[in-house]
Structure 1
């Protein structure tokens, strides 16, 4: 199981992709992560803040 957020560089999975039985089973997740990091490189960091109760 997993999710992604449209328009944001956010995704997750509900298992341990590094523990897959085959050498390439979850390779696509790591490729996606690296591509998202590269796309954000050089962009200013914008921390998200939330007030208690949100």
Structure 2
């Protein structure tokens, strides 16, 4: 997206992109050290970030992650209810 987020993080481990299945996409990369900070699976309703989105320094920096999560749960619930 070309967007940059300032995040609160403190971890000693990272997911090595080469270890991910083909269906996985790296979605966030640290500009500090190039480490993987987020991923999503293309074949399942799964995504993650390896930082603390709830600690965003701006008023709505990471709201898109929470919205994405709620939307994903609602879609999964609707799909299950329809079957």
TM-score range, shorter chain: 0.7 to 0.9
Instruction: Give the aligned CA root-mean-square deviation in angstroms.
Output: 1.3
Name structure 1 gaps, 5 residues minimum. 45-54
Aligned length: 44
Q: Does 1:5 align with 2:72?
A: no
Quick check: which one's strand share is greater? 2
Which contiguous aligned blocks of 4+ residues in structure 1 show a shift greater than 4 angstroms?
none
Name structure 2 gaps, 5 residues minimum. 1-36
Q: Tell me: higher relative CO, structure 1 or 2? Use CA pairs within 8 A at least 6 residues apart.
A: 2
